[in-house]
Structure formats: structure tokens, C-alpha cells
Structure 1
Amino acid sequence: MTQTRGRWPANPVLYEIYPRSFRDTTGSGEGDLAGVLQGLDHVASLGVDGIWLAPFYESPMVDGGYDITDHCAVDPRFGTLDDFDAIVERAHTLDLAVCIDLVFNHTSDRHPWFRKSIAGEDGYEDWYVWHDPKPDGSPPNNWISFFGEPAWTWNPVRRQYYLRQFLSCQPSLDLRHPAVQDAHEKIVQFWRDRGVDGFRFDAVTSYLFDNSMGDNPPASETVQARNATDESNPYSYQDHLNDMLPGDGAAFAERLRDWAGPDAWLIGEINSGNRSVELAAEFTAPDRLDAGYTVDLMVNEVTPHKVADLVARKEEHGCGLAFVLSCHDQPRGVSRAGDGSPRDAKLLALLSVALPGPLIVWQGEELGQKQANLPFEAIHDPFDRLFWPVHPGRDGARVPFPWQAREPGHGFTDGTPWLPMEGLAEVALDQQDADGPLAFWREALALRRKLDPQSEVEADGDLLHIRRGAHRIALNLGQDALPCDYGDPQLATAPLQEGTLPARTGVVWRD
């Protein structure tokens, strides 16, 4: 369960920064670490506890920086290690803890480790997951990657397939290999020595697999119902029993804890929908991670029943579940779970801060930044391009942060933004008012610090009731005004009407 560690309070609020889209100081059109440094005062002003810095490592950037060639080097497009050190120093001055992404499941296919493994260099032969073909030349089994393609890629030099659970340029490491574990431990220590306070482990549920290499069975109706099956992606047609998390999978988190130390705050991406909350519980058992976050509220409809069920499962399993409505990998919540309006942005903000557990806030969420509708020719992300036009898109959520209303770079860049920024003037930082999402987020996060950690959550039709000690929160997630008895409101997302709660409105009061 989540506890106080080092600079981290219990149940912290993390602000996710995607450096490429945060602030550009060179005119390249891409954000950089110097831009992150410039923006830290804004982040601190929100009242969050720390930052989660998405990858800034050396990378070909095929998968937005999650294809890494050196885990201990800053990609020159983002700056230098000195720039990173300046971020840590300034963040600590502002009382912000620093959490960075660690991508241990795979590397880029351009990583020196993989080149050596292909060549069969002594000591590196088995750093990655290699397997012979079946007698007919086909892949070893029926596993499917997250990107909907076969999870095996042929290498003509070794005359073997290698496992890749994402893109073919992201070969999967064998994390059971002692030398791979030693290399990862050194990476953790490298960043801890530079003052990093915690880590977000990318794709942590993909680390281990069943060595029997058996086929995955079809997804049962129960699995499909729980997963909100995405019929456009064949990955969701399987129950991923063999390619993810055999019996010792979650226990691997104990190694992560040992490497990071007792004062580091650790969170994992639980990207298996089969048993999302249950897996989060396993990963956050004693001496493992502090929290895991799932995609439940980012892919399912956000209804009182769904929210209450998620919290009930969290409490049942006693897990350190972190809540998140938006991140760099999913469409922006205000557009997906709302209509994109400031009204819905504030409603979802109140929902976020009212939930019991750690919270992740995605950059721009505090402005009510909407999902961008990008044309195909503007899209960089390979996942978006593979599934065009079905998916609303990851790049649409990564459109750069609008610091100013002016065109064309909105204060993000003096050059040409790497993704189009049209239509963001109404949510630019310098356009916010006293009744806008930014002011509301600050007030709501200040209130969150006063809420009791214990909670009672109940769904009543379109009304969601949350009790946090003496504080009571009611959220009308429907389209019609509903009867609601509340006392003297401490905070409301919209003007109230006595005895009723207007549509898409939330209110907080004390007993």
C-alpha cells in the first residue's frame, strides 16, 4: 500500500510532463529539458507533489522515446545531463519530487545490446527473447503484440524470431537473465545518484512470460466484458495468460524495490486489462511498488457505476491503485469522457481529486486542453497510423502545451510545432480566468490535502456520492438535473440550484 517515502507524501499527485510537447527553448519545434525547467514554476503553482518525466533518453523516436538506445544518456534533441540535473535541483527547491520513466521491458533495435545479441557476441547471446521457428517456418506461437501485429519478428542473421510486444523495432529483453538484471540495476542507481526520487515503470506487466511459450487462448466473455474489448485491435481477442505475468511476474517488483531503495516512490503501468485491479494489488504488495495505474477510466465509459466498481475492487484487494483520466498514451479525458467544455473539465477535475489514492495529472489537463483532431499526414505515432482512422489517437493527446494564445506556436515554440496546435487559443495558459479549469484545479488540489484517506463511494443512477471523512462530494455525471441535498457548499464546478444538482456538475460540502 502507498506510504510516505522520502520526499513523497502518502497518495501523491504526479504531474506528467512529456518533454517533446512541453516547451521548446531552441526553436526546433520540439520541447526540451530547458523548457521543462522553465515550466516548473507553473507546475508547482498547481499544488502537486511531484513530476513524472516521460522519456528523454537517446532514442530514434520511432515510438515517441519509448524505443531507447542508451538509458543513461539524454538525447541531444532534449539537451544534456546538466539540463536534467538543473531540473532536479529546481524541482527540489520548489518542493517537487522527481519521478522518471524507466523502460525495462524492451530497447530499440538500434541499441548496442541488441546488435551484439544478433551477432551472438559472447555474453549477449540471450539478452533478448529469441526462439526457433516451427518446422514450417512460422512463429513459435500465436502471441499478438499490443500494436495488433504478430509478437514475433524474423531475424535473418540468427535465423530466429525475436519477441516484440510492441513495435518490431522494440525487441523484448529477457528479464530473467542475470546480466540483464545487473544492467537494469546499474541504470536505477545511475539516476538515483543524480537525485531522482522515484520511477514509473513502463509496461511492467509485460516483463515476464511463461517459458513454455504456449498459445494464448481466446478471450472469454468475462475477460471481454471486463476489458471493454477493442474489436479493432486483434490483441484484445486473446486472454493473455502465457505472454504476460506467469506466477513470478508480480514478484519481480521486489527486485525493482531492492534496486531503487526504501525512499523511492515507485509506480507501474498495469497494461493488462485481464485483471487490472487485481494485478495492481499483486504489484503493490509489501516490498514491491507503491502504486499501479490501470486504463479502466481511460478506455471505459466514466459512469458512477464504473467508478464505484473500480474503487470497490481497489478496497477489496487492498491495492495501491493510482487514478488517472488522461495520459500520453490515451485520448484526453475531457474529450473522451466529456464534451470538451470547461464545464466538463472542472467536473472531471473534481472527480479526480475526490478518488482515494495517488493521482496522475496529464500536462494540459489543468487547462481543459481537448483532444486534437489531427489529419493523417500530421501524425507521427506508429500506433495511430496503424489503426487510422478508428482510434482517436495518441498524438492527438500529445499536441504541445499552449503557454500563450498567440499563433502559431502558442508560446510553446518560435519554430514550427512538431504537431499542429490550431484551435488551442481558448485554453492557453494566459487566457485562463477565475472561473476556468486552471483556477478550479488549484482550488480542488488544495482541498484534496484536507480529505480523509478513507472513503465511501456509492453510485445512484447518474449520481456518484463520495464520502471522505467529514467531506462529502456529489457528482452528477448525467445530462439532467437531479435531486440532491447538500449543505453549505465548499466547492462547486458550476452554479448550483437549491435542492438539485445541475447536469454535469459536482459539489463538495462538510457534514
Structure 2
Amino acid sequence: MARNAAPAIYQIYPRSFQDTTGNGVGDLEGVTRRLDHIAGLGVDAIWLSPIYVSPMVDGGYDIIDHTAIDPLYGTMADFDALVARAHDLGLQVYLDQVLNHTSDQSPWFLASIDGDEAMAERYLWCDPKPDGTPPTNWLSQFGLPAWHWNHKRRQYYYTQFLPQQPALNLRCAGVQTAIAAQMKHWQDRGVDGFRFDVVTAFLWDTVMLDNPPATPEVHRKVAGEVFNPYTYQDHVYDMLPGDGASYAEKLRAWAGDDAYLFGENTSGNHSIELAMAFTEPGRLDAVYTTDLPANRGNPATVADMIGRAGSLQRIVGWLSSHDQPRHGRGDASDAVLALQMAVLPGPWIIYQGEEYGLPQPDLAFRDVTDPFDLLYWPDGPGREGARVPVPWDAVADNYAFTKGTPWLPMSWDRADLQRAQAQLVPFYRQILEMRSNLGWHTASVEACHANDDRLDLTIATTAGARYRGIFCHGSGRADDAPTGNVLVSADRLRPPRDPKGWHGAIWRL
């Protein structure tokens, strides 16, 4: 299947999507059963979060084998059936590629501990300083120390996240050969593209110097909360050296020209400029940054992104994911934000259940398993809340997610869910159809005016049509709206909890 220019992508966190076995955990057969719902929304593709063999220390992002299905999710036959059904429904299938690290239970890493130097070259092993301390002052992105001592090798190994996730040396020829083979393995099974986890953190500077302290500007803009010590460094040596963005050319070469490739930018500094560098010709198709979810689609943020990027065709729009708290609130703002995202040119990621306006659940400490959330409890990023299973039926036991006990407790508001199924889901179908048929996804931005509460956007499609959207985030109705009939409005969806001043509509000019 040829890659789409600006696809609408539905992200699936399989563990929380649909259980078919009664063990309380979602599986691949469950994804296949729900593909009709996804295709019915009008999206172009699905992105599956990791389904590989994993100890699940970091929610599946700590991988033992990048080419095998974890039995928790099913079999390779289940995966093949999923891909076949998705293609029958006109959906492309994108897999998560977690190339930054492996699990510490990977055969590669275990062999490196045992003295296999060829395998040791696949990671970053370093001798201690003369006083036994780590080689540098680098910190992991979770705020933990980045260096971990191994007494067998009498060396430190480097991690960018958890101690159980040793970082791969992506400059190593052996690693590159393995990655190319991994990608071919999945493409041979029908996979149409890949999402690259933390693509901006693949490489480090080989000079191995200490990071300097962050300046006030860097401290303010680096991705993450300021209570995370990671934000106190200017990451000039452990992230994005000179060949960081150009490494994407290798990813393109391994995947081929027909694969759709997009990546995650975890650096808050110059986020849009970095995204543009990683998406130059011959590199990735698009990159997504944390700007939009960090500010819940704030109009000023949208205008800033447009001003810095020029075009949004290489910037993925999104508001929620498995790594970010859900943006839904079960009120009128959900429809306004959905319409705003639909008319913004470029790719768009919709996270599972977003079409139900699901809010971020509150979880008790005893229920949380995510190490990042627990590290800063109760002020962590809220990743586990975003992973509470999807409620499919407002009246069924366990919301029809499972016949067993869900792996995370589900306590969704059933009345809100019924209303969303009746009103918000059809609205998503309507605006996704308009996005595709009217060419909003491949349009260019003609004008953009914004403040913290109001976005006024004019786009021009490749067919020559022009559209104007006005979105009010709490500032009341727009009194300078175009004359003529509204093409589509979010204002008809007014649930009981209706915050004043949230309005959104689009006009054809």
C-alpha cells in the first residue's frame, strides 16, 4: 500500500484495547474484532504500541525480542490475521519501533555481561572514573541516574530511561544490521510503516563530557516537569549530536520509500525546528512534539507551531497518547478540540477512546504499576491513567472490555459514555470524512491569528478551496465570524457539563 501524505492515525495500546481471553489484558484478536469501529471512524491507519516479547517493566517498551509477539497478546498468526483484516478495511498498519534500548533481559545484553565483546559494542559500556564514580553526570529522561554499575564487567552501562533499559549504540554496525532485518521482518508480514520511539534521543556525543547546567530558557522549555532533575541540564552531550537528525536517512533506507515513517520528539528545546530537521527529504515523513498536549491545544501554541514550521505537513497533530494524560473532559471542549484538530493540516493521531471524550481517570497508588508515575507520585505524568482500558459498552459488565478482571480498574461515567456514543462518535466520523474529502489534511495555512483563548485559522486546499475556522477556548462566541452558513459546528454538542465560552465552527469562504 502506498503511504499517505497526511494520514489520520488511530493509536492502539493493545494491553488496554480489547480482551478476548478473559485474563483482563487486551490482545491482538481483540484489536481485530474492533477494527470495524476504527475503520468506521474514517481514519487511514492504526499504530500499535509494542506487542513484542517483554518483561513489561515499562509497559512493553522494554523489549527482549523485537521480532516476536509476546504470548500475552497472542501469536504471529493472530498478528497476520489483524494485518489482513486491516488491509481489507483500507487501514494501513504501523508498528512501534523501540530502537533506543532493549530490556536488560535481552540475549544481547546478557551476552555482553558474560564477556561477548561483539555484543558489548551494541551498548554503551564505560569504565568508571578513577574514584569509581560514573563516567559523566548524565541523567535519564525519567530523572534517575543514567549510569548503572555491573560488577561482572566492572563497568557502567548507560540508560536513558529505566535501569532495566540499557541504551543501544545505534552507531554500531551490528545493531544497524539487526534493525534493518527487524524492519524487513515486519514489512514482509504486511506492515506499512513505523513509529519511532524517542527518535531524537537515538545518539549521544562520543566525547563523553558532562552536560552543563541548563540556562533559565532551557530549563523552561525542556520536555518534562521542572521537578524532574533531567530538566536541570542542558543536554548537549547525551542527546542530538551533529548526526542526530541525519540518522533518519538510515531509517528511510532500511524501510524504503513506500513506508510511512513518523517519530517522537522528546526534546522541548527547539521542538519544531528539530521536527523539521528530522523530516527533510530522504528522512521521516513526520515528527510529533509535546507542544500541543502540554497545552491542551492552546490557540497560542498552535499559532507558534505554525509560525515556526511554516507548514504543518511534517508535524503530527495530537492531544493524548499512552504517555500523556487524556485531554478529554466530557464536556463541550472535547468537540471543539476535535474540530480544531481535524482542520489543522498535516497528520493527526487519535488515541484510543478519544472519540468517547474519555477524561483522565484517577488511580489509587495501590493500582499503579507504571514506574514513571510511581517515581513522582502523585505528581507524575499520569501515563497509567491514560492506559485504563477502553469502555466499549456503557451498560455491560466491565464495559465489554473483558469477561475477567481488567488489569487496571475501570470506573468510567456510564451516562457520559452513552452520550458520547450517541453524539461525539458520529461527530468524529463527520469531521474525519470532511478532513479527507475536502482536503484539509493536505492544505496550507493562509492566515493564523491567536491568543490564549481564541484561534482564527484560514486554510487553502490544493484544489483551491478556502476555509476559515474560529475556535474559542473560554472567550465566548466570535463576533466577527464570516457571513453565510456554517459548514460544520461543534456547538451542537452541548453536554450537561457545558463550560462557558467553548465554541468552534468552520466556514467555506
Coarse TM-score class (shorter-chain normalised): over 0.9
Q: 2:432 aligns with which of 424, 434, 445?
A: 445
Q: 2:152 aligns with which of 131, 153, 157?
A: 157
Q: 1:323 aligns with which of 296, 317, 327?
A: 317
Q: In percent, how many aligned pairs have the same letter?
A: 50
DSSP 3-state at the match of 2:488: strand
Quick one: distance in 1 between partners of 2:336 and 2:34?
25
Q: 1:458 aligns with which of 409, 426, 449?
A: 449
Deviations 1:213-257 (A, max 9, x none): 111112222223334762211111111111011001111111110
Quick one: distance in 2 between partners of 1:478 and 1:228?
26
Residue 409 of structure 1 deviates from its aligned partner by 1.3
Aligned twin of 1:337: none
Aligned twin of 2:496: none
Q: 1:167 aligns with which of 158, 162, 171?
A: 162
Quick one: distance in 2 between partners of 1:157 and 1:442?
57
Residue 65 of structure 1 deviates from its aligned partner by 0.3
Residue 462 of structure 1 deviates from its aligned partner by 2.1
CA distance change for structure 1 residues 325 and 128 in 2, over 3 Å: closer, same or farther?
same
Quick one: distance in 1 between partners of 2:415 and 2:53?
35
2:219–2:233 contact (8 Å) kept in structure 1: no
Q: 1:148 aligns with which of 139, 143, 152?
A: 143
Quick one: distance in 1 between partners of 2:452 and 2:97?
41
Q: 1:68 aligns with which of 63, 69, 73?
A: 63
Deviations 1:169-192 (A, max 9, x none): 000011111011101110010001
Aligned twin of 1:359: 348
Aligned twin of 2:480: 484
TM-score (structure 2 length as normaliser) = 0.94
Tell me which moved more, 119-128 or 88-97: 119-128
What are the equivalent positions in structure 2 for 1:394-433 lying under 5 Å apart?
394-406=383-395, 408-428=397-417, 432=420
Q: Which amino acid aligns with 1:247?
A: G
Quick one: distance in 1 between partners of 2:40 and 2:194?
23
Residue 347 of structure 1 deviates from its aligned partner by 1.0
CA distance change for structure 1 residues 483 and 86 in 2, over 3 Å: closer, same or farther?
same
1:402–1:425 contact (8 Å) kept in structure 2: no
Q: Which amino acid aligns with 1:465?
A: D
Aligned twin of 2:200: 205
1:465–1:474 contact (8 Å) kept in structure 2: yes
1:506 and 2:501 correspond: no
2:16–2:390 contact (8 Å) kept in structure 1: yes
Quick one: distance in 2 between partners of 1:451 and 1:503?
29
Quick one: distance in 1 between partners of 2:224 and 2:411?
32
DSSP 3-state at the match of 1:506: strand
Residue 495 of structure 1 deviates from its aligned partner by 4.3
Aligned twin of 1:379: 368
Aligned twin of 1:259: 254
Quick one: distance in 1 between partners of 2:195 and 2:71?
22
Deviations 1:7-45 (A, max 9, x none): 332111100000000000000000000000001000000
Residue 440 of structure 1 deviates from its aligned partner by 1.2
Deviations 1:286-334 (A, max 9, x none): 1110000011111235422111001111117x87111111111000112
Aligned twin of 2:463: none
Q: Which amino acid aligns with 2:241?
A: P
CA distance change for structure 1 residues 460 and 249 in 2, over 3 Å: closer, same or farther?
closer
CA distance change for structure 1 residues 181 and 392 in 2, over 3 Å: closer, same or farther?
closer
TM-score (structure 1 length as normaliser) = 0.93
Quick one: distance in 1 between partners of 2:476 and 2:486?
20
Residue 342 of structure 1 deviates from its aligned partner by 3.1
Quick one: distance in 1 between partners of 2:256 and 2:225?
38
Gaps of at least 5 residues in structure 1 are 1-5, 335-339
Aligned twin of 2:469: 473
Q: Which amino acid aligns with 2:190?
A: G
DSSP 3-state at the match of 2:213: coil
CA distance change for structure 1 residues 68 and 166 in 2, over 3 Å: closer, same or farther?
same
What are the equivalent positions in structure 2 for 1:47-196 lying under 5 Å apart?
47-196=42-191
Gaps of at least 5 residues in structure 2 are 461-465, 494-498
Residue 432 of structure 1 deviates from its aligned partner by 3.8
Q: Which amino acid aligns with 2:384?
A: D
Residue 345 of structure 1 deviates from its aligned partner by 1.0
Residue 117 of structure 1 deviates from its aligned partner by 0.7
Quick one: distance in 1 between partners of 2:243 and 2:320?
30
CA distance change for structure 1 residues 263 and 228 in 2, over 3 Å: closer, same or farther?
closer
Quick one: distance in 2 between partners of 1:356 and 1:385?
37
Residue 502 of structure 1 deviates from its aligned partner by 6.8
CA distance change for structure 1 residues 407 and 138 in 2, over 3 Å: closer, same or farther?
farther
Residue 344 of structure 1 deviates from its aligned partner by 1.2
CA distance change for structure 1 residues 205 and 447 in 2, over 3 Å: closer, same or farther?
same
- Could you list the runs of 4 or more consecutive aligned residues of structure 1 that deviate by over 4 angstroms after TM superposition? none
Tell me which moved more, 383-392 or 79-88: 383-392
Q: Which amino acid aligns with 1:62?
A: V
CA distance change for structure 1 residues 229 and 42 in 2, over 3 Å: closer, same or farther?
closer
